[in-house]
Structure 1
Amino acid sequence: MLVSDFHYYPLDFKRPSGTSRGILTKKEAWIVRIWDEQNPEIKGIGECSIIRGLSSDDRENYEDKIHEVCQNIDKIENYFISDLTEWPSLYFGFEMALRDLRNGGKRLLFDSDFTNNEAQIPINGLVWMGDKAYMQQQVQEKIDTGFNCIKLKIGAINFDEELSIIQSIREKFSAKEIEIRVDANGAFHPDDAINKLKALADFDIHSIEQPIKAGNWEAMAELCKITPLPIALDEELIGIYKLEDKIELIRQIQPQYIILKPSLVGGFKGSQEWIDIANKNAIPWWATSALESNIGLNAIAQWVYTLNNPMPQGLGTGQLFTNNIESPLEVTEGHLIYNQSKKWDLNEQLEA
């Protein structure tokens, strides 16, 4: 018989990190464990975590729902079919823990050349919003440490200053040398978005994530039709649970890319549905973390490696927190690696 419990494990940012939605200082997470009462020393571990104001399952009764599922863990397959489809981060956390348990409770969810330390995953270097000097400092640090794909959060400071930061990169590095992605997090107004996209396009930008707020399919579809700069849907995918609605969103908007955050779109299963739809429409995709701890980041990295996507993924967030869980994951020269010589260091609370 399966048994499950959970622990609240808030993550503290080393430095407050800015997006167009505000400053992040803490990331809320709950670590769930599942085991067989006949074999309690082997535990599967997963992470349920949300971004306040963004996750569709950011609700007052969030922790109550985790408790309910833990109390009824023997019915987890029924929860996957019904209740948890509209709790995407819970779906992912329990899906992760169950897969870990079935594979021996070693945090090895997908055996591959990546987990055998024989292959690496290319990732983008993330540059947070801040004043011009701070953003330029971050850009230089990413380049100095070997990244050739950089993602800049934009939309919070003066747009001309953001353009000047991008221009300073392009004055030193061509698009072949440094790929630049930008993420507006819906900050642009629909009436002004096309002008900003034209200005950004002058600098050989790879793509822009979510230029306008999610939910305005007609305006986003028009932007995707006339944009001089490839558009990637991100927040637009959040809260779309039914397969037919996912198909309709892609049919109507026809984006140039989609971006998958398993915690926000329903774990491996929800992400795979989006991938299948995108593939049928010849729309490329990549995956990113949603600021999970190394528990969630590990699951996303192992999963995405098996899908043979050559694009840089958004998986460089493991060093953001002061209290992250030590793991074999390492970032080196713009790649994520699984260093088998490093061990998981789950604290006593999570191992007990």
Structure 2
Amino acid sequence: MLKAKYIPYTLHFRQPAVTSRDILTRRDTYYLKIWHDEAPDCFGVGECALFRGLGDDDKPDYEKRLADLCDNINQSHSIDNIEWPEYTSICFGLETALNDLQNGAKRIIYRSGWSQGLDEIPINGLIWMGDARTMLSRIDEKLNAGFRCLKLKIGGINFEEELDLLGYIRSKYPPEQLELRLDANGSFTPDNALSRLERLSRYGIHSIEQPIKPRQYDAMRRLCNESPIAIALDEELIGLHATNDKTEMLDSIRPRYIILKPSLCGGFRSADKWIELADERNIGWWATSALESNIGLNAIAQWVSTFDTTMPQGLGTGALYTDNITSPIVQERDIIRYDHKNGTWRLPEDISQP
């Protein structure tokens, strides 16, 4: 019979992570462990990466839903009998744990050249919000490290100062040498968004994520039609699980890109559906982790590696924490790779012990 349990875990940021919504110093997450009772040392692990304040599953009964899932698994005789949860981050963790178990319980979630250590995944360098001096220092650090694509979170300081930062970057690196992506996290309004996008476009911007808050379909459609910068939807995807809801949003807004965060948009099966619908509409996509630990980051990277895409992905968050899970994931310059020969997984005792 299958057995399961969940383990709470707290991650601590090396430095406060600032967005237009919040200042983050810690991240509470949950690991889901699944095994067969006759072989307790062989287990799969997934991360139920609840994102408080953003995910649509941030509800008081979250841990009860996890406990109910474990009870259901403990009473199941096979994987086919498991009742799939409604909460998106729990689906993400369950998919990861089951794939891990079925692939030999070696943290191999999706088999690909990347998981064999043969391929690399290009990533963007993420610049968190801060005061102008702090952001400038972070920008220099990423540029000196060899990044060819930067993503800047904007909307947290004075807009004129943000324009100055972009001007500084472009004075050193023209668009053909450095791709710039922006993430506004919904900090613009329908009234000021277009004028701001026009001013930002002078700096050769590749794209901007979620310029205004989600569920403003008419306003977002106008922006997508009129903006001189390609718009990518991020938070707009959260909470849309039925295929009809997904198609209605894509057909209403018609964005240039969508950003896929599997732990927030329904798990991997749901993300696969988003890609299918986007491809049918000639809408581009890339994936971004959502502050998961290396357990979740590994799963997303292995999933991304099964697609034929060369776009830089947003998967470089593993070094944010002082107490992340040790893994074979290695970041070098602007790529991540899986060092399956020399790297190792070191799981917390609460997970590794039978």
Paired letter, 1:308: D
Structure 1 segments of 4+ aligned residues over 3 angstroms from their partners: 75-81
Q: CA deviation at 1:299?
A: 0.2
Judged with a 3 Å threshold, the aligned counterparts in structure 2 of structure 1 residues 80 and 138 are, in CA distance, closer, same or farther, namely farther
Instruction: Give the 3-state SS of the residue equivalent to 1:299 in structure 2.
Output: helix
Instruction: Give the 3-state SS of the residue equivalent to 1:263 in structure 2.
Output: coil
Which whole-Å deviations, capped at 9, do the CAs of 1:134-181 have from their partners, x for residues lacking one?
101111111111110000000010001011101100011011111000
Instruction: Report if the CA contact (8 A) 2:129-2:153 is conserved.
Output: yes
Instruction: Give the 3-state SS of the residue equivalent to 1:11 in structure 2.
Output: strand
Judged with a 3 Å threshold, the aligned counterparts in structure 2 of structure 1 residues 130 and 77 are, in CA distance, closer, same or farther, namely farther
**Residues 70-219 of structure 1 mapped to structure 2, 5 A cutoff:** 70-73=70-73, 74=76, 77=80, 84=85, 86-219=86-219
Q: CA deviation at 1:39?
A: 1.4
Instruction: Give the 3-state SS of the residue equivalent to 2:57 in structure 1.
Output: coil
Q: Distance in 2 between matches of 1:79 and 1:252?
A: 35
Q: CA deviation at 1:330?
A: 1.1
**Residues 216-295 of structure 1 mapped to structure 2, 5 A cutoff:** 216-295=216-295
Q: CA deviation at 1:77?
A: 4.8
Paired letter, 1:51: F
Instruction: Give the 3-state SS of the residue equivalent to 1:262 in structure 2.
Output: coil
Paired letter, 1:301: A
Q: CA deviation at 1:119?
A: 1.0
Unmatched tracts of structure 2, length 5 or more? none
Q: Distance in 1 between matches of 2:22 and 2:40?
A: 42
Establish whether residue 350 from structure 1 lines up as the match of residue 351 from structure 2: yes
Root-mean-square deviation (Å): 1.1
Q: Specify the alignment match of 1:34 in structure 2.
A: 34
Q: CA deviation at 1:51?
A: 1.7
Q: Distance in 2 between matches of 1:167 and 1:117?
A: 38
Instruction: Report if the CA contact (8 A) 2:30-2:47 is conserved.
Output: yes
Q: Distance in 2 between matches of 1:150 and 1:187?
A: 19
Judged with a 3 Å threshold, the aligned counterparts in structure 2 of structure 1 residues 37 and 17 are, in CA distance, closer, same or farther, namely same
Instruction: Give the 3-state SS of the residue equivalent to 1:14 in structure 2.
Output: strand
Instruction: Report if the CA contact (8 A) 2:123-2:335 is conserved.
Output: yes
Q: Distance in 1 between matches of 2:163 and 2:332?
A: 28
Q: CA deviation at 1:131?
A: 0.3
Which whole-Å deviations, capped at 9, do the CAs of 1:16-75 have from their partners, x for residues lacking one?
010000111111200110001111110000000122110000001101110110111128
Instruction: Give the 3-state SS of the residue equivalent to 2:151 in structure 1.
Output: strand
Instruction: Report if the CA contact (8 A) 2:72-2:82 is conserved.
Output: no
Q: Specify the alignment match of 2:303 in structure 1.
A: 303
Q: CA deviation at 1:184?
A: 0.4
Instruction: Give the 3-state SS of the residue equivalent to 2:208 in structure 1.
Output: strand
Q: Distance in 2 between matches of 1:160 and 1:110?
A: 44
Q: How many residues align?
A: 349
**Residues 55-70 of structure 1 mapped to structure 2, 5 A cutoff:** 55-70=55-70
Q: Distance in 1 between matches of 2:88 and 2:337?
A: 27
TM-score, normalised via structure 2 length: 0.97
Q: CA deviation at 1:225?
A: 0.7
Paired letter, 1:210: Q
Instruction: Report if the CA contact (8 A) 1:80-1:91 is conserved.
Output: no
Instruction: Give the 3-state SS of the residue equivalent to 1:119 in structure 2.
Output: coil
Paired letter, 2:171: E
Q: CA deviation at 1:104?
A: 0.8
Instruction: Report if the CA contact (8 A) 2:31-2:47 is conserved.
Output: yes
Instruction: Report if the CA contact (8 A) 1:122-1:313 is conserved.
Output: yes
Q: CA deviation at 1:326?
A: 0.4
Deviation larger for 291-300 or 137-146: 137-146
Judged with a 3 Å threshold, the aligned counterparts in structure 2 of structure 1 residues 77 and 216 are, in CA distance, closer, same or farther, namely farther
Instruction: Give the 3-state SS of the residue equivalent to 1:277 in structure 2.
Output: helix
Q: Distance in 2 between matches of 1:209 and 1:50?
A: 21
Deviation larger for 105-114 or 152-161: 105-114
Q: Distance in 1 between matches of 2:199 and 2:36?
A: 57
Judged with a 3 Å threshold, the aligned counterparts in structure 2 of structure 1 residues 289 and 80 are, in CA distance, closer, same or farther, namely farther
Instruction: Report if the CA contact (8 A) 1:146-1:332 is conserved.
Output: no
Q: Specify the alignment match of 1:325 in structure 2.
A: 325
Paired letter, 1:348: E
Q: Distance in 2 between matches of 1:129 and 1:122?
A: 22
